[in-house]
């Protein structure tokens, strides 16, 4: 399968640099805490999310879009088929969120 081939080849390659360029806090949107902009190598991911439910640790999500028509929920705009890269992107967002919270508390 082509996705398996991409993931295997990407694992062999050097991981791109990941940098959180922007993190904007939001209020009044349930458990959504912030939107982030992340540079991954030559690409910039807009509208990444930091989510934190009461009493739980924050986690990050890659960009999503509301479903259209009669469908409910959201669907991914971007997916990463390289598990370690997906985890690094999300970890960078959560780390930036936690560092920002420490400064503002």
Percent share of the chain, pLDDT over 70: 83
- Grade residue 105 by pLDDT with cuts at 50, 70 and 90: very low
pLDDT at 103 over 70: no
Please, how many CA atoms are within 13 Å of residue 92, restricted to the half-sphere of its CB? 22
The SS3 of residue 72 is coil
Q: Which residue has the tokens 């960078």?
A: 92
pLDDT score of 10: 53
The larger pLDDT score, comparing residue 65 to residue 101, is at 65
pTM value surpassing 0.75: yes
For range 2-17, the mean pLDDT: 64
Taking only the tens place, the pLDDT of each residue in 17-47 is 999 999 999 999 999 999 999 999 999 999 9
For range 60-75, the mean pLDDT: 91
- b/e code 4-40 from CB counts within 10 Å (16+ = b): eeebeebeeeeeeebebeebeeeeeeeeebbbbbbbb
Structural domains of the chain, ranges and CATH numbers in brackets: 2-104 (3.30.1120)
Two tokens, residue 45: 């991911």
Alpha-carbon distance 38 to 8, whole Å?
A: 23
DSSP string computed for 22-56: EEEE--SSTTEEEEEEEEETTEEEEEEEEE--TTS
């Amino acid at each position: 399968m082509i996705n398996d081939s991409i993931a295997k080849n990407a694992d062999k390659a050097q991981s791109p640099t990941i940098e959180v360029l922007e993190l904007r806090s939001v209020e009044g949107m349930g458990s959504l805490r912030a939107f982030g902009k992340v540079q991954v190598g030559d690409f910039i991911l807009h509208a990444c999310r930091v989510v934190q439910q009461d009493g739980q640790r924050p986690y990050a999500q890659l960009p999503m879009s509301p479903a259209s028509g009669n469908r409910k929920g959201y669907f991914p705009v971007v997916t990463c088929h390289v598990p370690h890269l997906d985890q690094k992107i999300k970890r960078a967002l959560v780390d930036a969120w936690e560092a920002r919270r420490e400064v503002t508390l």
